[in-house]
């Protein structure tokens, strides 16, 4: 289920090993419960600064389009081609169920 | 010129500027060493010979000032974007990826005259402590080919230790510069968080990652820090450092005199989990610091033991978010699939190795609804607690002294089946990342014939004092002058 959330396909031989690993890691991290963290606000970054960093709203031409397209897996003109995102027929069928 | 490859970066720069040696000669010595030794050590994923030679020829032909690293061959860990060279993170996901731009750190070094020699091996996406999870090749420790170089910047540290290049850059998220530097007997520094731009560093954990220098001595490390440190509009987490450009000066000015410097020795870093040989080296180092005039005193940081679990939750959570971009759509690997979802799943299933998957899974779980508070937020609170404790210690002490890691380099394959035992290698290095404080690992001695690293930590923006004390230590010792047998079979320790 977590693999689905992470959009990760797991090979059959990987599954039980990963389950065991994750179980033991999660068991290990439970020791954080030994700490009294009631009054402690969470820290998400070491920098005390909580200000936004601004720059002037000026367009900078990166000129990377050609190089970018060269590195893309499947290109059509100046677009990257991908398979269908939503299967509309399947979506309709599901609705009628 | 006898043996160019063991010259320090500063020495190279001096000789090049004085016309005593050409940049090409220096570069050729490096390329020859790589050619001779890399089949055994396996540091490089990509060697930039043609371009580098052309660049050095251009520089030799031209005139004018080329900066503080003029003619210095440099290697970059392969998670640092280089426009002229592939950047793979040692992952199948980016096996043929060419970045569209170079990292700010790369540009800074090149602007200072350094010659880019190539990209070095690493644990895949910087997740690991041995470089064994590279999808490409194994890197061996130049001190003992049956042992790991450490990780995740093992390719960079082994390259410097083996005399291939005098300077390499690595990245450090939980110890990934310092720990392999200790295993390979070289100097490795993690700057204050925000001091060096992360623009172009392929992100692992954004609140922990920093790029830093790997060199054979502290003076070179300070010289590279002078080039690297500076705030960058392209990295909104980068900040202006009050001592930017003054690190070399700080090291030179301190000399051998550490009177008035208060060094704390946190007992939790020297407990039963630490190898006796490592402990002995650290206590010897404490004695050396005392002799240099510093006052060394034991202290206690009781929440040290909680750093590792907090780190694995936080870094995995951040990694799961950062690695979501690798989806097969715009760049990198793309596996086939009928629908978009299949592309994501198949690409990520094939493109990522098992350690990366493990951490993405852990990270996704701790951020998921219903578990977020119990894991991620809790870990962030634990982080705050630990960091406050460390910063309080810096009221009493100027520096903290500790081992870089609990052991010397372990054998290839020894921990690869047991993730938790592998994670233990980072116990001493992780706290500095959580706190965003500067920390350096320097060669402190030997145990079992292998290098032992000793770690100095300072408060945020205390990079200069960390380097100054490290420099004084190096002037009083010669551990950093001993060369690994793999690199120098003829000689043992030779000072130039």
Average pLDDT, chain B: 95
Please give the pLDDT value at position B420. 87
Q: Which residues of A touch B330 (CB under 8 A)?
A: 68, 72-73, 80
- ipTM for the complex? 0.88
Per-residue confidence at B271, pLDDT binned at 50, 70, 90? very high
Q: Is A83 on the interface with B (CB under 8 A)?
A: yes
Higher pLDDT, A27 or B431: B431
Is A34 in Cβ contact with B345 (below 8 Å)? no
Mutation choice for B interface testing from A29, A34, A56, A64 by most B CBs within 10 A? A29
Q: Which residues of B touch A71 (CB under 8 A)?
A: 97-98, 100, 331
Q: Is B249 on the interface with A (CB under 8 A)?
A: no
> Has B156 been annotated as catalytic?
no
- The answer to whether the beta carbons of residues B4 and B165 sit under 8 Å apart is no
Please give the pLDDT value at position A34. 95
Q: Is B340 on the interface with A (CB under 8 A)?
A: yes
Query: Once rounded to an integer, what is the mean pLDDT over residues B387-410?
Result: 97
Q: Is A71 on the interface with B (CB under 8 A)?
A: yes
- The answer to whether the beta carbons of residues B126 and B173 sit under 8 Å apart is yes
Per-residue confidence at A95, pLDDT binned at 50, 70, 90? low
Q: Which of A18-27, B299-308, B377-386 comes out lowest in average pLDDT?
A: A18-27
Question: How far apart (Å, rounded) are the C-alpha atoms in residues B412 and B132?
Answer: 8
Q: Which of A37-46, B56-65, B80-89, B279-288 comes out lowest in average pLDDT?
A: B56-65
User: In b/e form, how buried is each residue of B139-157, taking b as 16+ CB within 10 angstroms?
Assistant: bbbbbbeebbbbbbbbbbb
Please give the pLDDT value at position B2. 54
pLDDT of A97 over the 60 cut = no
Q: Which residue's entry shows tokens 């690993």?
A: A21
Q: Which residues of B touch A41 (CB under 8 A)?
A: 381, 384
Mutation choice for B interface testing from A1, A9, A26, A85 by most B CBs within 10 A? A9
Query: Once rounded to an integer, what is the mean pLDDT over residues A12-34?
Result: 88
Q: Which residues of B touch A60 (CB under 8 A)?
A: none
Per-residue confidence at A96, pLDDT binned at 50, 70, 90? low
Least CA distance to B233: which residue of chain A? A55
Tens digits of residue pLDDT in A32-52 = 999 999 999 999 999 866 677
> Has B176 been annotated as catalytic?
yes
Per-residue confidence at A83, pLDDT binned at 50, 70, 90? confident
pLDDT of B293 over the 60 cut = yes
Per-residue confidence at B496, pLDDT binned at 50, 70, 90? very low
Instruction: Classify residue A72 by burial, with Cβ atoms within 10 Å: 0-12, 13-18, 19+.
Output: middle
The backbone torsions φ and ψ at residue B118, rounded to the nearest 5 degrees and listed phi first, read 170, -170
Least CA distance to A37: which residue of chain B? B381
Is A35 in Cβ contact with B385 (below 8 Å)? yes
Q: How many CB atoms lie within 10 A of CB B253?
A: 12
Mutation choice for B interface testing from A46, A55, A86 by most B CBs within 10 A? A46
pLDDT of B492 over the 50 cut = no
Is B358 in Cβ contact with A21 (below 8 Å)? yes
Give bridge partners of residue B446 from the DSSP assignment. B451
Instruction: Classify residue B53 by burial, with Cβ atoms within 10 Å: 0-12, 13-18, 19+.
Output: middle
DSSP 8-state class, residue B23: H
pLDDT of B295 over the 90 cut = yes
Instruction: Give first-to-last CA distance, chain A, whole Å.
Output: 24
Closest CA to B119 of B153, B68, B149: B153
Give bridge partners of residue B187 from the DSSP assignment. B215
Mutation choice for A interface testing from B311, B354, B361 by most A CBs within 10 A? B361
Q: Which residues of B touch A55 (CB under 8 A)?
A: 233
How far A10 CA lies from chain B's nearest CA (Å)? 6
pLDDT of B1 over the 60 cut = no
Query: Once rounded to an integer, what is the mean pLDDT over residues B449-469?
Result: 98
Query: Once rounded to an integer, what is the mean pLDDT over residues B465-469?
Result: 98
A17, A42, A82: residue with CB nearest B340 = A82
Question: How far apart (Å, rounded) are the C-alpha atoms in residues B192 and B242?
Answer: 11
Q: Is A8 on the interface with B (CB under 8 A)?
A: yes
Query: Once rounded to an integer, what is the mean pLDDT over residues A59-77?
Result: 89
Please give the pLDDT value at position A89. 61
Vertex B206: Cα angle to B200 and B208 (nearest 5)? 110
Catalytic residue among B8, B37, B56, B77: B77
User: Residues of A numbered 18-37 whose beta carbons fall under 8 angstroms of chain B's beta carbons: which are they?
Assistant: 18, 21-22, 24-26, 28-35, 37
Q: Is A10 helix (H, G, I), strand (E, B) or coil?
A: coil
Per-residue confidence at A12, pLDDT binned at 50, 70, 90? confident
pLDDT of B495 over the 60 cut = no
Instruction: Give first-to-last CA distance, chain B, whole Å.
Output: 12
Least CA distance to A25: which residue of chain B? B420
B488: CB partners within 8 A, 6+ apart: B6, B163, B494
Please give the pLDDT value at position A11. 83
Q: Which residue's entry shows tokens 């002294």?
A: B401
């Amino acid at each position: 289920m977590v693999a689905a959330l992470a959009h990760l396909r797991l090979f059959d031989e990987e599954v039980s090993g990963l389950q065991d690993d994750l179980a033991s890691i999660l068991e290990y991290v439970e020791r954080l419960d030994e700490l009294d963290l009631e009054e402690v606000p969470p820290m998400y970054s070491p920098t005390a600064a909580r200000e936004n960093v601004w720059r002037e709203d000026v367009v900078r031409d990166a000129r990377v389009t050609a190089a970018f397209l060269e590195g893309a897996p499947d290109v059509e003109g100046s677009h990257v081609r991908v398979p269908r995102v939503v299967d509309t027929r399947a979506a309709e069928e599901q609705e009628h169920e | 010129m006898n043996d160019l490859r063991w010259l320090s970066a500063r020495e190279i720069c001096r000789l090049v500027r004085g016309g005593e040696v050409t940049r090409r000669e220096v570069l050729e010595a490096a390329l020859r060493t790589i050619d001779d030794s890399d089949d055994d050590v396996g540091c490089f994923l990509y060697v930039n010979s043609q371009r580098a030679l052309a660049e050095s020829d251009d520089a030799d032909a031209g005139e004018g000032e080329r900066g503080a690293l003029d003619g210095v061959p440099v290697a970059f860990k392969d998670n640092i974007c280089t426009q002229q060279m592939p950047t793979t993170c040692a992952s199948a996901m980016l096996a043929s990826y060419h970045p569209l731009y170079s990292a700010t750190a790369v540009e800074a070094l090149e602007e200072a005259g350094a010659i880019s020699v190539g990209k070095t091996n690493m644990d895949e996406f910087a997740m690991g402590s041995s470089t064994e999870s590279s999808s490409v090749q194994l890197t061996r420790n130049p001190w003992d080919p049956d042992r790991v170089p450490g990780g995740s910047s093992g390719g960079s540290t082994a390259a410097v230790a083996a005399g291939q290049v005098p300077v390499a850059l690595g990245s450090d998220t939980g110890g990934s510069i310092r720990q392999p530097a200790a295993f390979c007997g070289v100097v490795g520094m993690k700057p204050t968080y925000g001091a060096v731009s992360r623009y172009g560093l392929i992100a692992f954990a954004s609140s922990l990652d920093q790029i830093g220098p790997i060199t054979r001595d502290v003076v070179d490390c300070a010289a590279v820090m002078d080039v690297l440190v500076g705030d960058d509009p392209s990295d909104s987490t980068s900040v202006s450092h009050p001592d930017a450009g003054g690190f070399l000066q700080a090291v030179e000015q301190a000399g051998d005199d550490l009177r008035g410097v208060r060094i704390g020795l946190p007992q939790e870093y020297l407990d039963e989990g630490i190898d006796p040989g490592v402990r002995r080296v650290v206590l010897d180092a404490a004695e050396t610091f005392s002799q240099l005039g510093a006052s060394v005193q034991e202290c206690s940081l009781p929440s040290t033991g909680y750093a590792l679990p907090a780190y694995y939750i936080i870094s995995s959570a951040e990694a799961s978010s950062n690695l979501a971009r690798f989806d097969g759509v715009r760049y990198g690997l793309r596996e086939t699939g009928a629908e978009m979802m299949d592309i994501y799943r198949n690409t990520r299933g094939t493109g990522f190795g098992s350690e990366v998957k493990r951490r993405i899974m852990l990270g996704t779980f701790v951020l998921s609804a219903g578990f977020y508070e119990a894991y991620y937020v809790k870990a962030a609170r634990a982080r705050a607690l630990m960091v406050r404790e460390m910063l309080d210690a810096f009221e009493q002490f100027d520096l903290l002294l500790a081992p870089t890691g609990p052991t010397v380099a372990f054998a290839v394959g020894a921990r690869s089946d047991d993730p938790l035992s592998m994670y233990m290698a980072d116990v001493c290095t992780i706290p500095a990342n959580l706190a965003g404080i500067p920390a350096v690992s320097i060669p402190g001695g030997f145990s079992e014939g292998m290098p032992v690293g000793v770690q100095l930590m300072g408060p945020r923006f205390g990079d200069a004092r960390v380097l100054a004390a490290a420099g004084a230590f190096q002037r009083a010792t010669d551990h950093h002058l001993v060369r690994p047998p793999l690199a120098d079979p003829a000689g043992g320790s030779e000072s130039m």
